[in-house]
Every structure is written in structure tokens, then in C-alpha cells.
Structure 1
Amino acid sequence: MAKVKYYYDTENLAYRKIKPKKGKRLGVVALFLVSSALFGFLAFVVLLNTPFFETPKDKLQAREIENLKVNYEIISKQMEEATAALEAIEDRDNNLYRAYFNTSAIPDEQRKAGFGGVNRYKELEGYNNSDLVINTTNKLDVLLKELAVQSKSLDEIAKLAKDKEQLLAAIPAIQPVKNEDLRHMASGFGYRSDPFTKIRKFHAGMDFSAKTGTPIYATGDGVVQRADNRATGYGNHIVIKHGFGYETLYAHLSKYNVKVGQKVKRGDVIGFVGSTGRSEAPHLHYEVHKGGEVINPINFYYGNISAKEYVLISKLANQENQSLD
């Protein structure tokens, strides 16, 4: 019950009741209602931001966020494992493949180069799990860059392997006349006595003495560049261009078995022993050229003779005797 208030009437010398105005009463009621509504709204906002009051949508979003966080952690772990595997490949690439093909290793600064300059991850900042997302994204970027570098390196290795295979096939690696067809190894590389002038001069190849008609074999893969008798002293001769700077010459042939422009494989019969040109007896004069320079053929007979045979032929080749041309 509301408290009754009085005031003293000096004219009538008596106490009289104070009657509240209707407007004031309504204002008090309105103020109470507004205050109650404001308090209720604030309480509602506070409840919304506490774990004690979650809608089904809030719970679903929270679960999705937690799942994303777990997935990011799993992806980050998988990328660490992928990075470790890639590092093992990089190690083999530098220390095995590139060492085998005698080419320089890719420096770590090139493989591990970062991403300097502008902030690449600015749009990922400001979230609850920004550190996790940025760290994972950075790992992925670095991994992709390293994979690109390694992919390019493997392309280079594949090309080197292909070139190496072609190089090994092109090197003149066998004797041009089989041992069983030889009468003897007549003369080697170096200074020898000329059979016609008896003057000591440089002999630019090796002479293999054999019967006329003995097969002569290509010592490496290549293309026939010459098959004629237009070079002084060589008589009928063949020049094979092997590539990688290698050329071989076969002189004093009795007959050709190839023509200019023909591709040959190591071991193909290209002609037959004879005594044409400046020759004293049936034999094959054989030369090896590398980069335009004549080199000793004895260094290339590893493809079809044993170590014992190599020692013997090397000993005979080093004897300073008389050449056959």
C-alpha cells in the first residue's frame, strides 16, 4: 500500500493529504518499465555470450570450427611428413643423381628460398585460429615451391640420363677388327718408322694386320660422314661421326658395306680389310678423334676385350716399330 503524505495548511491550521498528480504517476510507471526492459536486454546479451545459453546453430558452428581446426592440424602433420620425404629425394638428387652425371648440385638457398616482400597472409589474420591457418598455408606454399624446383631438377636428370645413354652408345668402345681375325697388331699410336721413307714420324692411329676381306666393325653408334678414296694416303676409307665430339676413321678398305648418311650401330659391319692407298700390306688403319684432336685408340677398347688382352695389345701398341702406312 502506497505511503500517504501530508502537508500543513497554515490558513486553516490543519494537515491535509498530498494528492499525487496523474502525469507524475505515469512517468514513474514508464521509467520503471523502460528500466526493466533495458535490464532484460542486457541480461539477454550477456547470456548469449556465455556457454550456458547456446542455440542449436551456435553448437553446429562451434562443432564445425573445431573440426576445421583438427583438419588443419592433420594437414599440417601430413605436410611435415611430405617435406621429410621430399628432403630425402633432394638429398639423393644432389648426392647421387647429379654426382653420377657430373653436374653441380642445386644449392639449399635455391631450394629453400622463402617468400619475402609483401605479407602474403594478411587476409588470414584476425581470426581465433589465424596462427594455425597461416602456419599451415605457409608450409603448403613452401612445399609447393620445393616440389616445383625438384620437378624441374628431375626433368634435367632425365635429359642427362638420355644424353648419357646416347654418349655411352656413341663412344668408340670396341676394336674395329676381332681378335680372332687378326694376324697381329702391327703398329700403335705415336712416333713410328715410315714403311716407305724409313723416316720416324707421327702415326695418328693403330694398324691391325688381317687378311683382305676381313670384316671391319663400327666401334660406336653414329652416322657415316665419308665413304670414299679422296683423302691422300688413306685409299678407300670411312669416317663415322658419333656425336659428342667423337669421330672414327677406317682406312685402306677393300670394299664398303655402308654409304654416306647411313646410321650405324656399334658392331655393325661397315667394310672389309684391304690394302688401298698408301699401304704396304693388307691391314686396317684406325683413328679416333675427339673435339677435332686425334687421340690414342688404345684407351677405348674396354667393350670387347679382357683385361689380359688389353695388357697384351697395349704392350704391342707401345712398341716403336714400323707402321704399315
Structure 2
Amino acid sequence: MSKVKYYYDKETLSYKKIEKRKGRKLGYALLSIGASFLAGFILLVIYLNIPDLETPREKALQRELQNMKMQYGVLNKKLDQVQTVLNEVEERDNTIYRLYFEANPIPDEQRKAGFGGVNRYKDLEGYDNSKLIIESNKRLDVLTKQLVVQSKSLDEIAVLAEEKEKFLNAIPAIQPVANKDLTRIASGYGMRSDPFTKERKMHWGMDFTSPRGTPVYATGNGTVERADNNATGYGNHIRIDHGYGYVSLYAHLYKYNVRRGQKVQRGDLIGFVGSTGRSEAPHLHYEIFKDGQRINPINFYYGNLSPEEFDVILQKAQLENQSLD
């Protein structure tokens, strides 16, 4: 029950009851509500116009965002360094390694191609820093692809290098008779006078004059294909299959030091100079075949001759004298 309030009336010298007015109470209520709305609006305006006013969680998230941007910046610098090194390796790969081994250079379009088709970065879209994240991921993907391409290229170069080494070791590259054991170069490759008929005919090899029993050496790695006297005119002779289409022949031998099917290395002793078969005097008749065709042996002595020694042999081999077989 509400309390009844009175006031003292000086005119009547008595207490009178205070009557409550409904309108005044409503006014107070409206005034209170209006004041609350005004205070809230003022606080909202103040909040929106003070950017530094952040909650502890917002501050933590902001620090995390700044750290992420810094990490991506560091990552991109590292990617720049890796890209520079990789570009140098690719340049050497195209202009030195692949060129030396006669392999076609890999075009930049193949090395640095992107990834077409489906959007690989859709899950990274829609964030405040999506562009930074997507670009970094794109660079990392392209760099990864470049590394894969370069890795495969180096694997190919390694195979080519191994094959090149085998090839260089197999090709006939030395004289079959040492210079110290030579009496002279009796005849070279070309048209020469036959020692028996005196007619001019093609001489398919080179004749090295040496005493009977002078060592004869394999001129390249290979497998002994023949070591017999069953070929007309050659007498005791050896044929070595070097692979890659090359075969070397050593004729008029006194005796063999190898047998058919034996593996030999360049410089191995395979036989001794003689005068068997169609021969006028002790000497070694030496031939080289490439893909079944006889070629001039003069081009295959780079392995153990100086330029000066080669010039001397070249001049002697070009003389159109009489052959010894």
C-alpha cells in the first residue's frame, strides 16, 4: 500500500493531502528513456570514432595478423633467393650441360608454366589477406614445378654423362703400336700401289712398320669379335667391337694375346706384329669400321699423340707410296 503524503497549508493552517498526477509520472518515464537512448547514442559515436579502442581479443588477433604478414614477407624473400639460384642452375643447364651432351634445351614456357584448369586456391579466397596468401602459394607451386623439371633434367644429364663416358672410352683413340716401337708409317689410307701387282688400288687402312713381335694394343674398350686367320689376305688378325657402330681390325699378326669374346680395355696388349697373310714385310695393318663402312684411321689418334706428333703422322700417311699388303 502506497504511502499518503501531506503538505501544510499556511492559509488554512491545516494539513492537506498531496494528490498524485498521472501525467507527471509518465513524463518522468519518457524523460528517463530518452536520456538512456541519448547516452547510448553518444557512447556509440565515441566508440566508432576512437579506432585505438580495442578489446584484448581484438588486440591479440591484430598481433597475430601482423605476425602472419611478417612471416609471409620473410617467406617471399626466401622464395626470391631460391628463384635466383634456380634461374642460374637452369641457365647453366641449358647453355652448358645440355649443350655439351647434345640435348635440346628446355624452354622457359615448360620450366615456368603455371597450373591451368580448376582454381587451386579457391579455399584461400574471401579473407582480408587472401591476395597475399594466394600469390605466395602460387609462387611456391611454380617454384616446386621448376624444381621437379630441373631435377628430371639433371637425371637425364647424369645418364647422358655416363653414356658419354662409355662412348668416349669405347671409340678407338690411340695408335695400336707405340711410337717408340715404330720403324715408320709405311702407308696410309687411300689409293696406293699394290706391292705384288704394282697396280693402284684402294688401301683401306694404315700400315705401321715394326719388328716381328712388337706389342699391339687395343685402341678402345670393347669385345674381341674375331681372333683368327679365316679372312683372305689379313692372315692372323683381331677384330674388336667397340659398340656405337665402331669396329677396329689388326692384321698380319705374329700371334694373339686375346681370344674371341674377351672384354678388353684401351691400351690392353692384344697381340704382336708379324707378317702373316698377304704381307710383304713385318708390319701391322690397322683399319676402322663405322656402321660397316671403312673410314680413315688417321682421325682416331688423339688419345696419345701431341699436335706435333699428329702432324708428322698426317704428312707421312698422305704420301702416295707403296703399301705393304
Same fold (TM over 0.5): yes
Counterparts of residues 243-262 of structure 1 (less than 5 Å): 243-262=243-262
Counterparts of residues 187-198 of structure 1 (less than 5 Å): 187-198=187-198
Letter in 2 for 1:98: R
Report what 1:67 is aligned to. 67
Query: How far 1:51 moved relative to its partner?
Result: 4.6
Q: How many angstroms apart in 1 are the aligned matches of 2:191 and 2:216?
A: 25
Query: How far 1:20 moved relative to its partner?
Result: 4.7
Query: How far 1:219 moved relative to its partner?
Result: 0.8
Report what 1:177 is aligned to. 177
Structure 1 residues 41 and 258, CA gap change in structure 2 (3 angstroms):
farther
Report what 2:278 is aligned to. 278
Find out whether 1:290 has 2:290 as its counterpart: yes
Find out whether 1:56 has 2:56 as its counterpart: yes
Q: How many angstroms apart in 2 are the aligned matches of 1:34 and 1:227?
A: 121
Q: How many angstroms apart in 2 are the aligned matches of 1:92 and 1:214?
A: 48
Letter in 1 for 2:148: A
- What do you get for the CA RMSD once the two structures are aligned? 2.9
Q: How many angstroms apart in 2 are the aligned matches of 1:297 and 1:166?
A: 20
Instruction: Using the TM superposition, name which of 154-163 and 56-65 deviates more.
Output: 56-65
Letter in 2 for 1:165: E
Query: How far 1:40 moved relative to its partner?
Result: 6.1
Letter in 2 for 1:200: R
Query: How far 1:308 moved relative to its partner?
Result: 2.4
Structure 2: gaps (5+ residues): 1-18
Report what 2:137 is aligned to. 137
Query: How far 1:165 moved relative to its partner?
Result: 1.5
Report what 1:125 is aligned to. 125
Query: How far 1:117 moved relative to its partner?
Result: 2.5
Find out whether 1:158 has 2:143 as its counterpart: no
Equivalent pairs, count: 306
Counterparts of residues 1-325 of structure 1 (less than 5 Å): 20=22, 51-325=51-325
TM-score by length of 2: 0.84
Structure 1 residues 221 and 41, CA gap change in structure 2 (3 angstroms):
farther
Question: How many percent of aligned residue pairs carry the same amino acid?
Answer: 61
Query: How far 1:61 moved relative to its partner?
Result: 2.2
Query: How far 1:262 moved relative to its partner?
Result: 1.7
Structure 1 residues 45 and 171, CA gap change in structure 2 (3 angstroms):
farther
Indicate if the aligned counterparts of 1:186 and 1:208 stay in contact, CA closer than 8 A.
Answer: yes
Q: How many angstroms apart in 2 are the aligned matches of 1:230 and 1:133?
A: 79
Query: How far 1:19 moved relative to its partner?
Result: 6.9
Q: How many angstroms apart in 2 are the aligned matches of 1:244 and 1:323?
A: 30
3-state SS of 1:216 partner:
strand
1:40-89 deviation per Cα after TM superposition (whole angstroms, max 9, x unaligned):
69978995997555343332222112111110111011111211111111
Report what 1:8 is aligned to. none
Q: How many angstroms apart in 2 are the aligned matches of 1:254 and 1:43?
A: 117
Q: How many angstroms apart in 2 are the aligned matches of 1:237 and 1:48?
A: 104
Q: How many angstroms apart in 1 are the aligned matches of 2:179 and 2:149?
A: 50
Structure 1 residues 60 and 49, CA gap change in structure 2 (3 angstroms):
farther
1:299-325 deviation per Cα after TM superposition (whole angstroms, max 9, x unaligned):
111222222222221111111122111
1:179-208 deviation per Cα after TM superposition (whole angstroms, max 9, x unaligned):
111121111101112222222211111111
3-state SS of 1:77 partner:
helix
Letter in 2 for 1:148: V
Q: How many angstroms apart in 1 are the aligned matches of 2:66 and 2:49?
A: 18
